[in-house]
Amino acid sequence: MSTINNSAQARERATNTLMRLQASYASKGIALCQAALCGANEFVAWTHYPKNDCSDVDTGYEFYYHAHEAADMPEAEHGHFHLFKRDVSQPEIFTHLIGIALDTKGLPVRLFTTNQWVTGESLQKATTVQAYLRDYSFTAKGRLAPIAKWIQALLILYEEEITSLIRNRDVLIHTHVSAGFKKSTFLEDRSQHCLTACQINFLEKLSLPSRTMFYSQEA
């Protein structure tokens, strides 16, 4: 198992991994967003893919893919991954790390953080979440193995953007508390869903002029 490392060499390896995996899926006539459904014939809103989530019991890291109702989804987005870190000794305690949204062609287009009520997480301060991400390691088998590698590579490539989102999430919470909101009330405020987000240009990040090689024949 490897861990997140934002050195130039690590970023180069991550870039190569992402290009290889995206191209591999496209060569098979599928998009990453289709592969994330783990063989399901139907994409049902709010359903987790895989059904019981994908977990590494040794490290406590976990992810799943899903989508909201169409009316609640940003235009052209297919669905998104949610990434978590569970306490290995107390699995019921978990922290949401980051969300990764894919478009209908299977390319990542947005990164985001969520409010506490969205996942029921144990909200941790930015420095703790950053440490979890630096230590991120995940071993998966079967059809989920390439997706786990893709996620880990993406975390390396977008470390700067993710760090900024997590820090700004804490700033936003602090700003509301300073303005007189009770923190626990704000964290349960259903009108506050996605706290911070940024659009990303995957092809630009990879320094690729065309997305043709990443488009499946069926997408």
What tens digit of pLDDT does each residue of 1-52 get? 434 555 889 999 999 999 999 999 999 999 999 999 999 989 999 999 999 9
What tens digit of pLDDT does each residue of 84-143 get? 999 999 999 999 999 999 999 999 999 999 999 999 999 999 999 999 999 999 999 999
Rg (CA), the chain: 17
Token couple for 105: 């062609």
Whole-model pTM?
0.92
- Strands (DSSP E) contained in the chain are 49-55, 61-66, 77-86, 94-103, 108-114, 194-199
Quick one: which of 80, 212, 50 has its CA closest to 145? Answer: 50
Domain ranges of the chain: 8-207
Q: What is the mean pLDDT of residues 162-187?
A: 97
Q: At 38, which amino acid appears?
A: C
